[in-house]
Amino acid sequence: MKNKIIFIINPIAGKGKGRVIETEIQHYFSQKNVEFETFLTKSIGHATEIANQVLTKNPEIIVACGGDGTINEVAQALVCSNVALGIIPIGSGNGLAANLHIPKSTEKAFEMILNAKINKIDAGKINEKYFFSNMGLGIDADVINNYAQTKTRNFLGYVSASTKAIFNFQPKKFSIELDNEHILDDDFYFVFCSNSNEAGYGISFSPNAKLNDGKLDFLAVKKLNFIKQIQFSACVLGKQIEKMNDAKVLQVNSVKFNSNQPKTIAQVDGEAVIFNQNSIEVSIVPNALNVIVPN
């Protein structure tokens, strides 16, 4: 019998898929020659707690069943360990899973876990917290904070959260240091660091990002008028953001953000995070995580 596979399932992820996946896992894996266990998350942060607890049982693989938020919580515990992260993408956006080409079909994703082909990917670090897909402090952070307060966890929920964010948006004042040198001091519409080339729903603010290049893809866009905001959206949808004159696109190792506000509203892997600090440091940890990928 192969070593243990642990499944950590977010029952509220996606469009209710989290509620049925446990039965599918039990049905599929009980027919295979593997030892496995399933756990359901109860609240925000619980997936990290479970992952830390089950690491003491020396599992071979811990599988996050959910979206980018659940993957982030499970992977926090696996950074720089030998345990591989598996992903069953049942979230609503599934940005990281899309970049890794993880099958959307549950059965194909199960097969992938059994094949256990492992690649190393980098992790981003924002202060003491890891991210694997992206983080942002601009209008995206407002969208995600609005989304966190809605009950509609699907694309329509993002549309409604985005509309609210656009109409209420106040530019964010930051002083930005890139690789301890470049200084940008301005009011920003968008400030973003990415490890992955997809943010979810096929949308990308960093189409050239690679998960294993040891670099962060940085994007900053100064405050924009309404027409330019439409131009920004068109460039993002066309994956041509570097062609926009107002956009600064760079690959870096580290970024420091300073603001004159006592707290900083961020989105980290699509989840709302509030830092009670005005100084945010972002860096990259190369080859930090073993991830199961398709053959």
Q: Which residues bind ligand ATP (CB under 6 A)?
A: 10-14, 41-44, 46, 66-70, 73, 91-94, 153, 200, 270-271
Residue type, 283: S
Exposed/middle/buried for residue 13 (C-beta within 10 Å: 0-12, 13-18, 19+):
buried
Nearer CB in complex with ligand ATP: 71/112: 71
Nearer CB in complex with ligand ATP: 21/282: 21
CB atoms within 10 A of CB 201: 14
State how far the Cα of 223 lies from the Cα of 229, in Å rounded to an integer: 9
Residue 81 backbone zone (phi > 0: left; psi -120 to 50: alpha; other: beta): beta
Read off the tokens for 219. 């994007």
In angstroms, give the least distance from the CB of 49 to ligand ATP. Answer: 11
State how far the Cα of 12 lies from the Cα of 164, in Å rounded to an integer: 24
Cα dist from 154 to 65, 91, 243, whole Å: 17, 9, 30
Nearer CB in complex with ligand ATP: 42/117: 42
CB atoms within 10 A of CB 113: 23
Nearer CB in complex with ligand ATP: 138/200: 200
Cα dist from 23 to 7, 8, 12, 17, 127, whole Å: 12, 13, 15, 11, 38
Nearer CB in complex with ligand ATP: 16/286: 16
In angstroms, give the least distance from the CB of 140 to ligand ATP. Answer: 13
Q: What is the largest CA-CA distance in the chain?
A: 61
State how far the Cα of 212 lies from the Cα of 38, in Å rounded to an integer: 30
Nearer CB in complex with ligand ATP: 10/134: 10
In angstroms, give the least distance from the CB of 12 to ligand ATP. Answer: 5
When CB distances to ligand ATP are compared, the closest residue is 67
CA angle at residue 26 from 99 to 38, to 5 degrees? 70
In angstroms, give the least distance from the CB of 97 to ligand ATP. Answer: 8
Which of the 8 DSSP states describes residue 83? P
In angstroms, give the least distance from the CB of 47 to ligand ATP. Answer: 6
Residue type, 116: A
In angstroms, give the least distance from the CB of 267 to ligand ATP. Answer: 10
Nearer CB in complex with ligand ATP: 14/59: 14
In angstroms, give the least distance from the CB of 233 to ligand ATP. Answer: 19
Nearer CB in complex with ligand ATP: 10/197: 10
In angstroms, give the least distance from the CB of 148 to ligand ATP. Answer: 8
- 105: number of CA atoms within 13 Å, CB side? 5
